[in-house]
């Protein structure tokens, strides 16, 4: 029996571990909705909460988790704080989700 070795262009396991943590963060319907919203514009916590149908404190929790993974950042403008995507790769990720799942609701 031969042992297969890792290919030199494979991603380091430590990088995959970090990626898995961020993917776990995205694995929630409200967080995916937040990404979808923020890919088109910036929003306040209140606007995000209303769009997701959750209280503002729950929306804030979701935003904090995503911020810790480096996916988004707050931007203060006067008395308002807006959130915006900082990870451009999320656009491709969301496109993949849309392509795979958006048209499969009848399945």
For 40-80, write each residue's pLDDT tens digit: 999 999 999 999 999 999 999 999 999 999 999 999 999 99
Question: Distance of CA 93 to CAs 5, 23, 34, 50, Å?
Answer: 29, 10, 13, 24
The pLDDT, as a whole number, for residue 8 is 80
The pLDDT, as a whole number, for residue 103 is 73
Which secondary structure element, helix H or strand E, spans residue 27, and what is its range? none
pTM score above 0.75: yes
15-102 under CATH 1.10.10.10, yes or no: yes
Domain ranges within the chain, ordered by starting residue: 15-102
C-beta contacts of 13-18 below 8 A and 24+ residues apart: none
Q: What share of the chain is helix, strand, coil (3-state, %, to 5)?
A: 55, 10, 35
């Amino acid at each position: 029996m031969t042992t297969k070795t890792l290919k030199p262009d494979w991603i380091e396991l430590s990088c995959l571990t970090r990626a898995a943590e961020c993917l776990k963060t995205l694995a929630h319907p409200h967080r995916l909705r937040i990404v979808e919203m923020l890919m088109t514009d910036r929003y306040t916590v209140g606007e995000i909460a209303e769009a997701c149908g959750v209280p503002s404190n729950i929306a804030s929790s979701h935003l904090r988790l995503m911020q810790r993974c480096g996916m988004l950042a707050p931007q203060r403008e006067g008395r308002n704080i807006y959130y915006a995507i900082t990870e451009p790769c999320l656009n491709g990720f969301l496109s993949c989700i849309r392509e795979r799942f958006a048209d499969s609701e009848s399945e």
